[in-house]
Amino acid sequence: MTVAYVLCVVSSGTEKETLDKLSQYDGVTDSFIVYGEYDIVLKIEVDSTDELRKFMTDVVRNIPAIERTTTLITI
């Protein structure tokens, strides 16, 4: 099992809409709107780092409101 936290910076005013969209995907086990340098924090649980790469590439990076991400993989 691969667990990662994804820190997202999104376009101003799109936080709730983006969070709702991301929360619907399998693998997203927790999601929060936060204040500070980042706008959204996701907890992702998938079977492998390859699945994490696919999720980040196919899902997260295809949402126009997401401007930047930082991915923290747990060990």
- Computed on alpha carbons and rounded to an integer, the radius of gyration of the chain in Å comes to 11
pTM over 0.85: yes
Q: Which of 19, 62, 17, 10 is nearest to 38 (CA)?
A: 10
The confidence score (pLDDT) of residue 1 equals 95
Query: pLDDT band at 42, cuts 50/70/90?
Result: very high
Q: Which of 40, 48, 46 is nearest to 68 (CA)?
A: 40
Which backbone phi and psi does 65 adopt, to 5 degrees?
-70, -20
Torsion sign (Cα): 33, 34, 39, 40: negative
Per residue in 52-74, pLDDT tens? 999 999 999 999 999 999 999 99
The confidence score (pLDDT) of residue 2 equals 98
Q: Structural domain boundaries of the chain?
A: 2-73
The confidence score (pLDDT) of residue 71 equals 98
Q: Does CATH place domain 2-73 in 3.30.70.920?
A: yes
